[in-house]
Every structure is written in structure tokens, then in C-alpha cells.
Amino acid sequence: MAVNLKGRSFLTLMDFTPEEIRYLLDLSKDLKAKKRAGIEGNALKGKNIVLLFEKTSTRTRCAFEVACVDEGGHVTFLDSNSSQFGKKESVEDSAKVFGRFYDGIEYRGYKQELVESLAKHAGVPVWNGLTDVDHPTQILADLLTIEEHIAKPLNKVKVVFCGDIRNNMSYAWMIGCAKMGMHYVAYGPAKLAEEIDKDFLEKVQAVAKETGATIEISSTPECLKNADVLYTDVWASMGEEAQIPEKVAMLTPYKVTAEMLSATENDDVIFLHCLPAFHDFETAMAKSQMELGYDIREVTDEVFRSRHSKVFDEAENRMHTIKAVIVATIS
């Protein structure tokens, strides 16, 4: 049956079949080719979307804005200080109001339940731009980047996520790999492995069983062997900055280094990172933490700038994949 996602919210890849994810990736490729060829789109002509950001963003916000405008739509951006949302007006009431004005709503913030509640009440598609436990639009961009750089079908690809294996990116990756029949290894300290939600893991393993995916958790470097993708993310996610001392102590052995790339025994291994990344001391945060004695770099500058690193292709793909999500779901 032909895939039709009109009117659907995009809250987590868990809600989508492998065929639907395939459809979004193929649509992303078409839209990227169209943009490269300079062909103007009009799929969102006369449509309005609102972007709600309770956490900061560069890529996700810019991707939604450019994607929408490229297709002829209009965008309103609201951060946590510039609306009544969440402070003077409930999520339910706000969702109902936004649903009267807009054809789609993007939300970035804390609780997954909040984005679900928006979707329940808005009457228009809601897109998850990152919560504490998921980042589904990022995974679409990552899958597209993998398909562009690795000459194997996704179900033959091994991804090793190094570091904070219980964060939103690691969770999102578990879902993405399970859905697409991939091999995922969460490589990080046993203490963090224990913190991974058991019910969530059970659900992911049930999906993996259906698709032939392998979802593993490991604390030993042997798991790096034959990896096609080494992935990492910041050690302290937005809102978790107080954990920096503890995380630096725990995660320094999982910093992505040239030795780690070699340990994959795969000369074509690629390095991916959702960004923003700490790979040098050119940021106020890396600098100030170093002054306090904490080296928060999750990847070396050498790896970040190496031929293996595809992080800026990946960042660009945020826009093409987010465009696909908006175009596919807006009615």
C-alpha cells in the first residue's frame, strides 16, 4: 500500500513503520536533489508553521525555517520567553490555539509527554524537535548521511554510539536502528547502562526481533570492531550541566579518538555527531570548564577534522530530512 503520512504527527520513530521511514528518506533525497538543481518548491504554499523552543538550537531551528520557506510556507518562532505557553497558559489550551492558527507545530523541550500532549490537542501535525528522551528528526538526517557515505544497505550497517549511552540521542538511535534492522551498540560505562529505561529497552528489543536488528550495550572496546559508524554526543545534555564533573570522570575513556577509529579495523569507518560538539577549546563552555579542571571534549579535534568525519554533511541533511517530514505530514 502507498505510504500516506498526511495529518500524522512526528513524535518518535517508534510510531513509524520501516516502510514509512524509508518513504521519508527517499522523499528527503528527492527534495535535496531538487534544491541542488535550484528548483523552487511550493508544497507549503499558503501554509503556516510555528516553532516552539524551550531549549536552545542552531540546526533544528534553522532547518525548520529554511525547509518551510523553501517550499513557500511561513514560520513563527517562539522561545520560552516570548509566549504565554507553559507559563500563563496550559499545554492543552496553547495547543488548541496554535491549531487554529497553524498547519503544523514544532516543539523542542524537556518532557516527551509534553510533545505528546500538544499532538493530542492541536488537531494539526506536531513534530518533535528534541526532548529529554528522543530526537527523531536527527536520526532521519543520520540515516540519510549513512546512505550517502556507506555503500551497504542500512540493515548491514553497524553503529557504535560512544559515551552518554542513556541520553536522548542514544535512545533515538536505539529506535532508529531497531526499526531499520541495523546493528546498534551503546558503548559506555556500566553505571550508565544500568540507567537505561528497562521498559524502553524491552520495547526496542521487540521491534529488533521483528526487523532482524541487533541492539547491544557494551563497556569493552572489543565492540568497536567492524563498526561502520562511530557516533558520539556531548557528555552533558541541555539541562544536565551540573553533571559535568561526574560525566567527565566517567566518560573520558569513551572519548572518540584516532585509536578508537583504528580499533574498528575498518578504514572506511565514518564519524558522526549530531552537533554542537566539544572538540577543541574554541567555545566559552569548553574553556570555562577546562579552567575548572574538566576537559569536556567528547571527541578529539583530530577525529572531528579527519577524512572519516561527515558531521557537516550530516548537519546539512537536517534541513532536507526535516523538509521531508513537514511536506509529508502537512495536510
Q: Which residues have a catalytic role annotated?
A: 108, 135, 138, 233, 274, 318
The C-alpha cell at 43 is 508544497
Q: Where in 173-307 does DSSP place strands (E)?
A: 183-187, 214-218, 229-232, 270-273
The H-or-E segment that residue 143 falls in is: helix 136-149
299 sits near ligand NVA (criterion: CB under 6 A): no
Q: Which of residues 139-198 bind ligand NVA (CB under 6 A)?
A: 167-169
312 sits near ligand CP (criterion: CB under 6 A): no
> Exposed/middle/buried for 284, CB within 10 Å: 0-12, 13-18, 19+?
exposed
Q: Which does residue 224 bind out of ligand CP, ligand NVA, none, counting CB within 5 to 8 angstroms by kind?
A: none
Stretch that binds ligand CP, among 39-47, 116-124, 247-255, 270-278 (CB under 6 A): 270-278
What is the pattern of x (binds ligand CP, CB under 6 A) and - over residues 39-58?
Answer: ------------------xx
Q: What are phi and psi of 134, to 5 degrees?
A: -160, 155
Whether 130 and 55 have beta carbons less than 8 Å apart is answered as yes
What is the pattern of x (binds ligand NVA, CB under 6 A) and - over residues 227-266?
Answer: ------xx--xx----------------------------
285 sits near ligand CP (criterion: CB under 6 A): no
Q: Which does residue 244 bind out of ligand NVA, ligand CP, none, counting CB within 5 to 8 angstroms by kind?
A: none
The C-alpha cell at 295 is 576537559
**Is 59 known as a binding-site position?**
yes
Grid-cell match 518532557, residue found: 111
Neighbours of 210 (CB within 10 A): 11
The C-alpha cell at 196 is 537505561
- Between 23 and 235, CB nearer to ligand NVA: 235
**Nearest to 325, CA basis, from 135, 173, 161, 183:** 135
Q: Which of residues 57-86 bind ligand CP (CB under 6 A)?
A: 57-60
Helix and strand numbers (H, E) in the chain are 13, 9
The C-alpha cell at 201 is 529497552
CB of residue 249 to ligand NVA, shortest distance in Å: 19
Instruction: List C-alpha distances in Å: 240 to 96, 105, 234, 245, 293.
Output: 31, 26, 10, 11, 18
Q: Which of 159, 251, 263, 274 binds ligand NVA (CB under 6 A)?
A: 274
**Is 189 known as a binding-site position?**
no
Q: Which does residue 314 bind out of ligand CP, ligand NVA, none, counting CB within 5 to 8 angstroms by kind?
A: none
Residues 6+ apart with CB under 8 A from 299: 232, 255, 256, 257, 271, 273, 277, 278, 279
**Is 275 known as a binding-site position?**
yes
Whether 71 and 40 have beta carbons less than 8 Å apart is answered as no
168 sits near ligand CP (criterion: CB under 6 A): no
43 sits near ligand NVA (criterion: CB under 6 A): no
What is the rounded distance in angstroms from the CA atom of residue 20 to the CA atom of residue 308? 30
Q: Which does residue 28 bind out of ligand NVA, ligand CP, none, counting CB within 5 to 8 angstroms by kind?
A: none
Total residues interacting with ligand CP, rule: CB under 6 A: 9
What is the rounded distance in angstroms from the CA atom of residue 149 to the CA atom of residue 169? 20
What is the pattern of x (binds ligand CP, CB under 6 A) and - over residues 107-146?
Answer: -----------------------x-------x--------
The C-alpha cell at 277 is 560538539
Q: Which does residue 186 bind out of ligand NVA, ligand CP, none, counting CB within 5 to 8 angstroms by kind?
A: none
Q: Which does residue 97 bind out of ligand NVA, ligand CP, none, counting CB within 5 to 8 angstroms by kind?
A: none
The residues binding ligand NVA (CB under 6 A) are: 130, 167-169, 233-234, 237-238, 274
The residues binding ligand CP (CB under 6 A) are: 57-60, 130, 138, 274-276
Annotated binding site: 57-60, 84, 108, 135-138, 168, 233, 237-238, 274-275, 318
